[in-house]
Amino acid sequence: MSFPPTDLFSAIGLFIVNFGVLEYFTFGHLYDHFSQEEYKRAEKNHFNDRMEKVLSHLATLRTDKKSLEAIAEFRERLAPLRDLRNNIDHGYMLMKLPDEGMPSLRIVNPRHQALPRSTSGDVTFEDILQSLEELTEVTEILKSLLGYRDETP
């Protein structure tokens, strides 16, 4: 998380921006490790398909038990974050103002209404803050798998 958001809407914006970091790392890995033709094909795919291509490639490069467990953990922890991002991106939001307490948003994604695993529903400021923390941890797992090192002076 870059800086602490002060309200629900800034938290959602920060979540979307930070999710873009995963996209950045995904495109970077595809560009660096695949042919231009494969990259161009993958570029047109959905995020999940691109990420699976990267993770499958990493699983062939890093076959030690610790790395394979990290890949599996990453996949598992990414799924609910990706669902939230998709619902924010493709759904609509209705603000709920309770008589007491913090407002929440009802995020409704018409594409997922009939699905049993739908993550549409009420989202509070605290929910987004928790998702931002989880996203930061998940991003660190991916950075580690990709071999990125923070170089701070």
For 70-121, the pLDDT digits (tens) are 999 999 999 999 999 988 888 778 787 777 777 777 777 776 655 444 445 6
C-alpha to C-alpha distance for 103 and 71, rounded to whole angstroms: 36
> Domain residue spans in the chain?
8-90+125-146
Whether the full predicted model's pTM is greater than 0.95, yes or no, is no
Judge contact between 29 and 145, C-beta under 8 A. Answer: no
